[in-house]
Amino acid sequence: MNTYRSLRAIQSALQADDITCLSLTQSYLQRIHDQKDLNAFLEVYETEALASAQIVDDKLKAGTAGCLAGMVIGIKDNICYNGHRLSAASKILDGFESMFSATVVERLLAEDAIIIGRLNCDEFAMGSTNENSAYGSVLNPVNTKHVAGGSSGGSAAAVAADLCLASLGSDTGGSIRQPASFCGVMGYKPTYGRVSRWGLIAYASSFDQIGPFTHNAEDAALLMEVMAGSDEYDSTCSEKAVPKYSQKLNNNKSYTIGYIKETLESPALDAEIKSHILDKIEQLNASGHKVIALDFPYLHYVVPTYYVLTTAEASSNLARYDGVHFGYRSSDAQDIPSTYANSRTEGFGEEVQRRIMLGTFVLSAGYYDAYYTKAQKVRRLLLDKTQAIFENCDFILSPTSPHTALEIGKTYDDPTQLYLEDIFTVHANIVGIPAVSLPTGTHSNGLPFGIQLMAPAFKDDELLAVSNQIMNM
Q: Is 151 a catalytic residue?
A: yes
Torsion of CA 19, 22, 27, 28, to 10 degrees: 120
- Compute the radius of gyration of the chain from its Cα atoms: 21
Active-site position among 175, 238, 315, 401: 175
CA distance 190 to 226: 13
**Distance of alpha carbon 107 from its chain centroid, rounded?**
18
Side-by-side strand order, sheet with 72-76: 41-44, 114-119, 72-76, 166-171, 209-214, 186-189, 435-442, 448-454, 395-399, 256-260, 290-294
Q: Taking phi first (over 0 means left), then psi (-120 to 50 degrees means alpha), and beta for anything else, what does residue 31 get?
A: alpha
Residue type, 267: P
Q: What DSSP character marks residue 63?
A: T
Active-site position among 76, 189, 280, 459: 76
Distance in Å from the first CA to the final CA of the chain: 29
Active-site position among 87, 128, 151, 398: 151
Q: How far is CA 460 from CA 18, 192, 242, 399, 463, in A?
A: 35, 11, 10, 19, 5
Torsion of CA 398, 454, 449, 29, to 10 degrees: 170
* Cβ atoms of residues 166 and 223 within 8 Å: yes
Q: Is 145 exposed, middle or buried (0-12, 13-18, 19+ CB in 10 A)?
A: exposed
* Cβ atoms of residues 451 and 437 within 8 Å: yes
The helix (H) or strand (E) run that includes residue 462 is: helix 460-471
Tell me the HSE value of 81 on the side-chain side, using a 13 A CA sphere. 25
Kindly report the length of the chain: 473
CA neighbor of 305 nearest in space, from 365, 414, 378, 359: 378
Q: Is 76 a catalytic residue?
A: yes
Task: Kindly report the number of other CB atoms within 10 A of residue 30's CB atom.
Answer: 12
Q: What DSSP character marks residue 327?
A: S
CA neighbor of 187 nearest in space, from 393, 422, 469, 464: 464
CA distance 148 to 183: 6
Active site residues: 76, 151, 175
